[in-house]
Chains A and B, each alone.
Chain A
């Protein structure tokens, strides 16, 4: 099927010309080239390479741009743009009331003109420099905020901060695509999150309570085509990718709570969201080399374990038992959000199951299904559900320890042990076990920590 000309142009623009040059890369090219250059005389002496080849290798590395310098330039470009932008906002916020209105407006709107001028130059000359693009994006983002603020300040326009944030972010959005700026995308995600928090958490109104920031979802989605074309499509996993994925995951985690109607179903929404994160981390597209750079996995796993530990207390189950939750299930904000997130998790589970066997998937990805079963059990028999949550936590902990041992990863192994410690610590407060028994449990886990770590280190030494 032939795409319409405009759509096709847009797609090609995003797909091809859009592929960025990975300036910030995790490859330690400089260190490697230095090492090679150091080895050259030895290689010539040992007759591995000829003198001429050695000279050609040396010339090759000398002619290459130094990535460390590039990286520094990008960092300084970003910092410069951010600091200058924020500095001007603060200076204008001083509100120089000696200045006439027109001059105040002129000064407030000038940075926007300057930012657009630089952006225009970058676009017209097709400048590829990451430092320029990122720095200009960061500066322009704050220049936009300033342009709206100065008019508000001069004409004493009523302050609805949520609306201001929304206008600011929607005007910032095109900068991401025009400049292909990851920093602007990060600022956009932070701004959209701020908007949702402002509307959902901070603007409590006594007549209508908290409002639901419905526009948050669509606004966040508008940044996804950039992430797809910038990182996923070309398969680039650089520092910008890590930062953006962390921000996106944290934003969703923080803002899901704003879709709160009554109470209890929010937990279901969160369990499904965390499971969805883990399922996403199972997809090849989102795989990273280190655990900590995979925001989906870290937040998903910590979220599930944290939620389960909360659920191991009595109060949640008493709450759903007392409130005859089944009656409240229909027609609530939370119901639709929890339903939507759960459906997405189920769909993702099917997607992952097409490439992996059920046993090969991280066990915690199934947490949302377990929780749904426990939820309906808890409505009738809260005590049994609470007891089973403890069991589920224990199973996940053992699974994590085994996973750590299998992957020879001390971090994962200790995480599993920490989950058990967390569970025991939680039970420390709400059980009638004797002090001696609780003490023995702690000693047991402590010994477990030592034993597991020593075992792992020994295993590594043997393997080496």
Chain B
């Protein structure tokens, strides 16, 4: 009987390590070998009970005019590829129901379909959270709104995309990490 308890225990331990292990492996492989894209963004400041404070990002490059007359459905699994526009920001180039043979692409789901076959198709960008140290999240939000008022400042997320997966590595305001911006704000007396 004890043997059975030990087998169950071993199974439990393996399962409990496989889940975080797989998450780390997938993310790490994207971080080391994925292509870097810059996604224009707008953050706000909510909180997650387990993972702490984060800013939610909503991106501009989340829809595409689909080629052909494929009847896109809500929640359908799709593969999206990106390129850079003239300002260096990510722009979707293609959407399909099968993965491209090579290059970086994002495996995601259709989030919005308008009536009419030629209307733009919206898709989820599954990197909408950037976690920050508790004390810095609201400061980060302030920094962002400063950037919004000042039209010369631009906020964007740095995302690495591999074969299907994507990892958000930083949020930048005028090419400076938002973490650095907040640190500088804290050092400067009001």
Q: Is the CB of A171 within 8 A of B15?
A: yes
Please list 16 pairs of residues, one from A and one from B, whose beta carbons are closer than 8 Å in the complex, sorted by A's number.
A9-B1, A9-B4, A17-B2, A89-B50, A93-B134, A94-B52, A97-B136, A120-B9, A120-B13, A124-B6, A126-B2, A147-B16, A151-B23, A151-B27, A167-B19, A171-B19
Partner of B128, one of A92, A158, A177: A158
A376 — which chain B residues lie within 8 A by C-beta?
none
Q: Is the CB of B127 within 8 A of A156?
A: yes
Partner of A123, one of B6, B20, B53: B6
Considering only residues 1-49 of chain B, those with a C-beta below 8 Å from chain A are 1-6, 8-9, 11-13, 15-17, 19-20, 23-24, 27, 31, 48-49
Tell me whether A159 and B128 are in contact in the complex, defined as CB-CB below 8 angstroms, given that A13-B5, A93-B51 are known contacts. Answer: yes
Interface membership of A367, Cβ < 8 A? no
Interface membership of A16, Cβ < 8 A? yes
Residues of chain A at the chain B interface (Cβ within 8 Å): 9-10, 12-13, 16-17, 89, 92-97, 105, 109, 112, 116, 119-120, 123-124, 126, 144-159, 161, 164, 167, 171, 174-175, 177-178, 207-208
Q: Is the CB of B1 within 8 A of A12?
A: yes
B168 — which chain A residues lie within 8 A by C-beta?
156
Min CB–CB distance B38 → chain A (angstroms): 15
Considering only residues 146-188 of chain B, those with a C-beta below 8 Å from chain A are 167-169, 179
A105 — which chain B residues lie within 8 A by C-beta?
24
Tell me whether A116 and B16 are in contact in the complex, defined as CB-CB below 8 angstroms, given that A97-B179, A126-B2 are known contacts. Answer: yes
Interface membership of B67, Cβ < 8 A? no
A92 — which chain B residues lie within 8 A by C-beta?
52
Interface membership of B145, Cβ < 8 A? no
A95 — which chain B residues lie within 8 A by C-beta?
51-53, 131-134
Tell me whether A112 and B16 are in contact in the complex, defined as CB-CB below 8 angstroms, given that A148-B23, A156-B167 are known contacts. Answer: yes
B103 — which chain A residues lie within 8 A by C-beta?
none
Interface membership of B130, Cβ < 8 A? yes
Complex Cα–Cα for A326 and B81 (A): 49
Candidate in A89, A124, A155, A178 with the most chain B CB atoms within 10 angstroms: A155
Min CB–CB distance A211 → chain B (angstroms): 10
A116 — which chain B residues lie within 8 A by C-beta?
12-13, 16
Q: Is the CB of B27 within 8 A of A155?
A: yes
B111 — which chain A residues lie within 8 A by C-beta?
207
- Of chain A, the residue at the smallest CB distance from B137 is A95
Q: Is the CB of B8 within 8 A of A177?
A: yes
B5 — which chain A residues lie within 8 A by C-beta?
13, 17, 123, 178
Candidate in B2, B9, B54 with the most chain A CB atoms within 10 angstroms: B9
A147 — which chain B residues lie within 8 A by C-beta?
16, 19-20
Interface membership of B59, Cβ < 8 A? no
B9 — which chain A residues lie within 8 A by C-beta?
119-120, 123, 174, 178
Q: Is the CB of B130 within 8 A of A171?
A: no
Complex Cα–Cα for A207 and B72 (A): 14
Partner of B8, one of A157, A159, A161, A178: A178
A144 — which chain B residues lie within 8 A by C-beta?
16
Tell me whether A164 and B50 are in contact in the complex, defined as CB-CB below 8 angstroms, given that A147-B16, A174-B11, A178-B12 are known contacts. Answer: yes
Partner of A153, one of B13, B17, B52: B52
Q: Is the CB of A94 within 8 A of B8?
A: no
Q: Is the CB of B16 within 8 A of A159?
A: no
Complex Cα–Cα for A93 and B54 (A): 10
Candidate in B51, B131, B134 with the most chain A CB atoms within 10 angstroms: B51
* 10 smallest beta-carbon distances between A and B, as pairs: A93-B52, A174-B12, A155-B27, A158-B126, A17-B1, A149-B50, A156-B168, A153-B51, A151-B23, A13-B4
Q: Is the CB of A207 within 8 A of B74?
A: yes
Q: Is the CB of A13 within 8 A of B1?
A: yes
Complex Cα–Cα for A105 and B28 (A): 12
Q: Is the CB of A171 within 8 A of B52?
A: no
- Of chain A, the residue at the smallest CB distance from B47 is A93
